[in-house]
Structure formats: C-alpha cells, structure tokens
Amino acid sequence: MSKYKIGVLGLRMGHAWAKAAHSLPDTGLSIVYDKYFNENELINHDFYLNNGCVIATTEEEVYDAGLDVIIVATPDHIHREQCIRALKAGKHVICEKPLAPTVAECKSIIAAVRESGKFFMTGQVCRYAPGFKLARHLIDQGRIGDIVCIESEYAHDYSKGAAGYMGWRRDPAIKRDGFIGGGCHTLDLIRWLAGDPTEVFCYMNHKFLPDWPTADTGMAVAKFPNDVIGRVFVSIGVKRPYTMRTVINGTRGTIICDNTSEFIQIYEESVYDAAKITKFAQIPVLVSSHNVDAELQDFIGCLNRNEQCLTDVIEGSKTIAFGEAAIKSARTGIPEKIDYNF
C-alpha cells in the first residue's frame, strides 16, 4: 500500500504533525506552508529543508498538491476558512484544537464535512496522553465504581512566551477567548471522561493578564449525565507550572492524573478493605502531553478501515459548545443550557 501524502498548514503547532507524517510508516510529508516561514526564527527550518518536502510559497499550492490529508495547525481564527478549502479540494482533514472559536464557525465546518464526504479529525490530544488514557481505561474497568464528581484544570501562564508568533493570542482585533483557546483541552477531556454536560454555570475574571483582550481565568461547574457533577478551572495567566491535573471521584475510589506526571494515583476501596490503610497507589506512565504520533496513527488507521475517528468534527464542536455556554454564563450570571444541535 502506498503512503498517504500529507500536507501541513502552520509550522509552529504543525511541526509535531510534520515530524509524525515524516516518520510514520504509512505516511509521507509532501508539502508544508507557513505564511511566515522565512521570518519566524522559531520554525525548525533545517527539518523542512533537509527532508525532501516541498516548502510552498502560497497556501493554494497545498490544496493543489494531490494530497490525501491536509493538517490545519494555524491559529484558531483561521481554522474555518482553511478546513473548508481543504475539504472542497477533496482532502481528508485533521484540524488542531480548538476546532474554531465559535459554534457558528464549527457549523460551517460541519456542513463542509458532510458535503465533502471526507474524514475529519479534531486534534484533541489529551485523549492520547498516556496518563489520561490509563485513567479512562481504569474507569471503564470499574476500578473506582461509578463517577460521582470530577474536576479538571488547564493552568498555563501565557505571559511566559505563549502569546503566539507576533502575539496573535493577545491581539485585540482577534480577541481570542482563553477559556476556549487553551481551555478546550480540559473541556474536551472532562467530556471524554464523564460525558456531554447539559448545563454550566461560570464565573470569570481578568486579573492575571489585564492588558490581554479577554478574561484570563474562569471557574465553571457543570451537570453531566448520570447525575455527575463537574468542575473546570481554566487560567492562561495563573502563576504556577503548567498542569492539567484531573481528579475523578467514584463510588469505590478516586483517580488523580495529569499529562505532565510520570505516574497516576489511584485509591481503591477494595484495596483498603484488604490492606486497612488509606493511601494512594502510584501507576507509572509515559510523559507525553502532546502525543501527536498516536493521533496521526489513529487517523490513518481509520482511513485504512474506511471509518470515522472518534474525535470527529462533531466531537470538536461539542467542546466548543461547552466553552461557549460557560462564557455566556459568565456574562449573564445564570446557568446556561448547552446546545448540541449541529
């Protein structure tokens, strides 16, 4: 079987995708494009110059390159336009998270996916982080019983070099909402673990990064299926090391996990009954917070089987709907229902 020909738009977030496409056995990196390829010193120019891929000088070259898959890894506010153009060009598409800044833009992408008949992945990488995958496996095994309450966080100080090239994340003309832009990680993760929330109430403030255009910190409480309660904390200015610490409390135990730790913790009531000691056990895991290789492998596997991947355009849109409802709640001061009618 010939390799899938891959093109990448955007070479900062897209660099990991480009490396994966170059190294995986079923894919080949054919062409890349970044508007600022020559100016941006953070791009690994040698990788592209030395590995035989075409460095496009226009975006149109990518759509016309006879590719199988186009990976959209540009800033959030460009995703809709580029995804739609790639789909209309007859390509399968992987789009970095968040899928788009608003539900309205997501709906445009959904329509294009349905019209094209092509396969689509939203790059929700937390579902591929080993610690979170193990936590999901243990939950599915029933090791902590039924989930009662769950809390997850996205804590990342964007003032430490995370404003994006030319500061696009803090551009007042773009007005990127950090609760969705960064918080989509934890919003999607908690959905994956507990199901789709039905209602959310949220408070937000703007004290860490007052010169940025939108609120930098938010705390949301949501209702999940099966009477599960959830809490989400998102801050793009909090003064602490980056973390996505997540705690899942079940009827028979608790799991604490992260995407930056070398182990997850689990407390099981059945173990306490035998050992008569209340203590967490540690299970070692690989630290791979951005496991893009696994994402691309999963997508290619789905193409080989002619089936849609689990993190499709609808899953990406549901995460945005969750975040958008939380932002609306912070503005209105009342709980907001989450509309998944796409």
Residue 309 counted as domain residue: no
Indicate the pairing of strand 69-72 with strand 4-9: parallel
Do 119 and 147 share a domain, yes or no? Answer: no
Do 140 and 108 share a domain, yes or no? Answer: no
Do 148 and 287 share a domain, yes or no? Answer: yes
Do 113 and 159 share a domain, yes or no? Answer: no
pLDDT in tens, 44-92: 999 999 998 999 999 999 999 999 999 999 999 999 999 999 999 999 9
Do 60 and 80 share a domain, yes or no? Answer: yes
Do 134 and 274 share a domain, yes or no? Answer: yes
Do 57 and 162 share a domain, yes or no? Answer: no
Specify the CATH number for the domain of residue 33.
Answer: 3.40.50.720
Do 162 and 91 share a domain, yes or no? Answer: no
What is the total count of domains within the chain? 2
Give pLDDT, residue 277: 82
Domain endpoint, select from 85, 100, 123: 123
Residue 239 counted as domain residue: yes
Give pLDDT, residue 182: 97
Domain endpoint, select from 70, 103, 123: 123
Specify the CATH number for the domain of residue 186.
Answer: 3.30.360.10
User: What residue numbers bound the domain in which 77 lies?
Assistant: 4-123
Do 109 and 134 share a domain, yes or no? Answer: no
Give pLDDT, residue 1: 52
User: pLDDT tier at 2 (50, 70, 90 boundaries)?
Assistant: low
Residue 319 pLDDT greater than 80, yes or no? yes
pLDDT in tens, 7-52: 999 999 999 999 999 999 999 999 999 999 999 999 999 999 999 8
Residue 305 counted as domain residue: no
Residue 209 counted as domain residue: yes
Token pair 């010193």 in the structure block, residue: 41
Give pLDDT, residue 290: 74
pLDDT in tens, 185-227: 999 999 999 999 999 999 999 999 999 999 999 999 999 999 9
pLDDT in tens, 246-303: 999 999 999 999 999 999 999 999 988 888 888 999 999 998 767 899 999 999 999 9
Model pTM?
Answer: 0.96
pLDDT in tens, 95-136: 999 999 999 999 999 999 999 999 999 999 999 999 999 999
